[in-house]
Structure 1
């Protein structure tokens, strides 16, 4: 993907299907076999579309870490991976703040997180701007292994609600 110097891409990736939490803390839930397949398929989709982030901001939960690992097995690549508890516990405003503070000079940033935060952040950043097909996908509920690709022009510090366009939305199923 070729970007102008001030163009940015933010990829929001909801973790893949995880086991039910019976008797286990939420933070420790692991991916199911289906979740691993779906995450690998998401990684292949990212690779196929040339969406290689310079920075991956990943929740500290087991299922998000496993989602990114499986996505890498599928072909996704990230130059730097940072694990941040705010991506696990924070809402859309908090995750947006982490992106603004962490993105630095990166042009492509990917966040591996949780719902409802990922869907709310994608919807809020785009506020209806961008691809109608992508917005239809987003409106369908942002199930596990959904990837939303947003475009933004300007410094990361200026990224806010209504400033981006939703370019693509993809539900990965393996």
Structure 2
């Protein structure tokens, strides 16, 4: 019988809020592209991910234009991923729905980036971070603006991921 400690695998989850988009009055919400500042900030997020040596096995992205463009600009600036999935369940999702999406992640994916929206992305970061992450948690609960990203590490299989069990290792607000 396998030792349960042999099954523990370090996993990384990056929660990236989309970069600044054009105003909502200008067109249907799903079609809103990034504003010029958003394109610069998304590229800066990509540079930060590359500098931090975070290479995603999988990116889970909302199908909204602004989230798709956020990943596109991040990738063009150095962020990388083995695969990208666009999932409608991420669009304007709350933490419970985002956890359902994460439960469908293949077991061999060790690093996952979710590109989504507020309030779901900030709330999920706060819910997943363990109490030992209190100092970093304070910063993200005070403000989680566009292009903000949280890096959380945990040892649970994706279907078992639950609140208060991840360690918040980084919280940054990349600006281009």
TM over 0.5: yes
C-alpha distance after superposition, 1:66-100 (max 9, x if no partner):
00000011100011000000000421111111011
Task: Determine the C-alpha separation between the residues in 1 that align with 2:52 and 2:40.
Answer: 19
* TM-score, normalization by structure 2: 0.92
Q: Is residue 143 from structure 1 mapped to residue 131 from structure 2 by the alignment?
A: no
Return the offset for 1:13.
0.1
Task: Determine the C-alpha separation between the residues in 2 that align with 1:157 and 1:50.
Answer: 25
Contact 2:60 2:114 in 1 (8 A): yes
Contact 1:14 1:112 in 2 (8 A): yes
Cα RMSD after superposing both structures = 1.5
Q: Is residue 154 from structure 1 mapped to residue 156 from structure 2 by the alignment?
A: yes
Contact 2:133 2:167 in 1 (8 A): yes
Contact 1:103 1:109 in 2 (8 A): no
Q: Is residue 75 from structure 1 mapped to residue 78 from structure 2 by the alignment?
A: yes
User: Aligned residue for 1:40?
Assistant: 43
User: Aligned residue for 1:63?
Assistant: 66
Name the larger-Rg structure: 2
Contact 1:131 1:168 in 2 (8 A): no
Task: Determine the C-alpha separation between the residues in 1 that align with 2:89 and 2:96.
Answer: 10
User: Aligned residue for 1:165?
Assistant: 167
**Which residue, 103, 113, 120 being the options, matches 1:117?**
120
Unaligned stretches of 5+ in structure 2?
1-6
Please, which moves more after superposition, 91-100 or 134-143?
A: 134-143
Q: How many residues align?
A: 170
Unaligned stretches of 5+ in structure 1?
none
Residues 32 and 23 from structure 1, CA distance in 2 versus in 1: closer, same or farther, beyond 3 angstroms? closer
Return the offset for 1:139.
2.3
Return the offset for 1:110.
0.4
C-alpha distance after superposition, 1:95-126 (max 9, x if no partner):
11101112431110000000000010000011
